[in-house]
């Protein structure tokens, strides 16, 4: 089986070192993300705190090198130019069979962990303006996803509207909000209403909790290894999705789309089973929400309104009938170390070898096109 072309539902850009210093509101300029050159490489610092070094310097190296040869710190001048030049971005990804991309940040992912809420929002506003300009190179091929701080849902709703006005195709929210303000809290109603009205899908991407780890070269020990491999990632997104479904958020907002990005997919069948089992077979406790339709189940809302971006989950593909084939979207994760670039066609072909052609098209491009507004006819080679 050969793969002709695809849309990547999860790709990234590498932010230029001067992005925030140039663009952030003047009041936050001294605390904005900035790059500091150190002995081992260039590192981002935010409000005096070290964050992470530069990704995008070893795209594809995992296919050629041993894991012990891969690095987590580098200098910006080592970053492949296509990772921050939109014209080159389009051209380089086309060589990999990716005709269009949904764009997420790199350093910007960790903006969600900035403790100061006002600074967090300012960092996100500056990034949203940048990524809109980046995508203006070709809005038919590049669809940006904005960043939204949910600490103040009214402010978040306003920024979501600004993102739509800028031409962005969706927005990210924290995969793990503060524990006393989970997504079952009524305070988020203005955000859900705005996302539904604006037709802006909301993504919960890996590493966007309100307290995420940095990629620090000094990390060591088994605990750090396990965090790098798993970091309770599907636990975070399960918690947030479960809160939204069980509290009736998706029921009250039937056109709201909310999804999981870069958490893979094979955890979903058991998550859906457990939600349904809890709803139907356990005693109702306190003020548990009950759906208006007595025949509906929590899993029905996930399949109707959820979406899942995965990368290399062979098991997830095997259980796609349980997950919902219309929720699944392939993502290359370009240009990060884990990316399938430059072997995306080969990897996708292996993953989907036993999948019917119509389902392949859904997973590789049609689901993403429908969610983010790509014109498939215009994209076709």
Query: Please, are residues 160 and 146 in contact by the beta-carbon 8 Å criterion?
Result: yes
By residue count, the chain amounts to 381
Q: How far apart are CA 284 and CA 290, in angstroms?
A: 9
pLDDT at 349: 97
* Residue 1 placed within a domain: no
* Residue 259 placed within a domain: yes
Q: Report residue 158 as tokens.
A: 């306003």
Q: Residue 334: which residues within 8 A CB-CB, separation 6 or more?
A: 8, 11, 12, 59, 83, 93, 96, 98, 101, 340, 341
Q: Report residue 1 as tokens.
A: 């089986």
Q: Report residue 356 as tokens.
A: 């019917």
Q: How far apart are CA 174 and CA 176, in angstroms?
A: 5
Quickly list DSSP for 145-197: EEE--TTSHHHHHHHHHHHHHHT--EEE--SB--GGG-TTSGGGHHHHHHHHH
- Domain count for the chain: 1
Q: List, in sequence order, the alpha helices (H) in the chain.
A: 19-23, 86-94, 117-135, 153-166, 189-198, 221-229, 233-246, 249-252, 268-281, 298-305, 314-318, 320-323, 344-351, 357-361, 367-372, 376-379
pLDDT at 20: 98
pLDDT at 233: 59
How do strand 34-37 and strand 42-46 relate by DSSP bridges?
antiparallel
* Residue 221 placed within a domain: yes
* Residue 254 placed within a domain: yes
Phi-psi region of 37 (alpha: psi -120 to 50; beta: other; left: phi over 0): beta
* Residue 44 placed within a domain: yes
- If you average pLDDT over every residue of the chain, what do you get? 93
**Domain range for residue 48?**
6-379
* Residue 162 placed within a domain: yes
Backbone CA torsion sign across 316, 321, 322, 324: positive
* Residue 117 placed within a domain: yes
Helix axes 268-281, 298-305, angle to 10 degrees: 140
Low-confidence residues in the chain, pLDDT < 50: 212-232
Q: How far apart are CA 339 and CA 331, in angstroms?
A: 9
Q: How far apart are CA 168 and CA 208, in angstroms?
A: 19
Q: Which residues pair with 186 in a beta bridge?
A: none
pLDDT at 215: 40
CATH number at residue 354: 3.20.20.140
pLDDT at 1: 64
Q: How far apart are CA 368 and CA 190, in angstroms?
A: 26
Report CA Rg, the chain.
20
* Residue 304 placed within a domain: yes
pLDDT at 22: 97
């Amino acid at each position: 089986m050969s793969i002709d072309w695809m849309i990547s539902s999860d790709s990234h850009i590498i932010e230029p070192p001067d992005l925030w210093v140039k663009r952030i509101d003047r009041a936050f300029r001294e605390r904005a993300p900035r790059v500091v050159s150190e002995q081992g490489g260039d590192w981002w610092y935010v409000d005096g705190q070290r964050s992470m070094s530069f990704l995008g310097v070893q795209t594809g190296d995992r296919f050629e090198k041993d894991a012990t040869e891969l690095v987590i710190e580098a200098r910006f001048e080592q970053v492949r130019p296509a990772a921050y030049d939109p014209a080159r971005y389009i051209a380089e990804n086309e060589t990999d069979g990716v005709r269009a991309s949904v764009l997420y940040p790199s350093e910007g992912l960790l903006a969600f962990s900035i403790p100061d809420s006002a600074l967090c929002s300012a960092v996100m506003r500056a990034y949203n303006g940048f990524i809109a300009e980046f995508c203006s190179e070709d809005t038919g091929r590049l669809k940006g996803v904005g960043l939204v701080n949910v600490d103040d849902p009214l402010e978040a709703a306003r920024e979501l509207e600004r993102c739509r006005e800028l031409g962005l195709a969706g927005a990210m929210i924290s995969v793990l909000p503060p524990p006393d303000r989970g997504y079952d809290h009524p305070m988020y109603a203005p955000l859900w209403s705005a996302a539904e009205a604006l037709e802006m899908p909301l993504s919960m991407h890996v590493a966007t909790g309100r307290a995420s780890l940095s990629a620090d070269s000094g990390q060591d020990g088994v605990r750090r290894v396990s965090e790098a491999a798993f970091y309770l990632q599907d636990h975070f997104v399960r918690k947030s999705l479960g809160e939204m479904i069980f509290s009736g958020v998706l029921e009250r907002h039937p056109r709201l789309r909310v999804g999981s990005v870069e958490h893979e997919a094979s955890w979903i069948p058991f998550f859906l089973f457990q939600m349904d089992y809890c709803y139907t077979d356990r005693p109702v406790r306190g003020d548990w929400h009950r759906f208006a339709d007595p025949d509906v189940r929590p899993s029905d809302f996930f399949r109707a309104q959820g979406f899942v971006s995965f990368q290399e989950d062979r098991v997830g593909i095997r259980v796609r009938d349980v997950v919902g084939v219309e929720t699944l979207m392939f993502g290359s994760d370009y240009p990060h170390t884990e990316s399938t670039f430059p072997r995306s066609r080969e990897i996708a072909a292996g993953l989907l070898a036993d999948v019917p052609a119509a389902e392949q098209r859904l997973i590789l491009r049609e689901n993403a096109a429908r969610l983010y507004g790509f014109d498939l006819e215009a994209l076709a080679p």
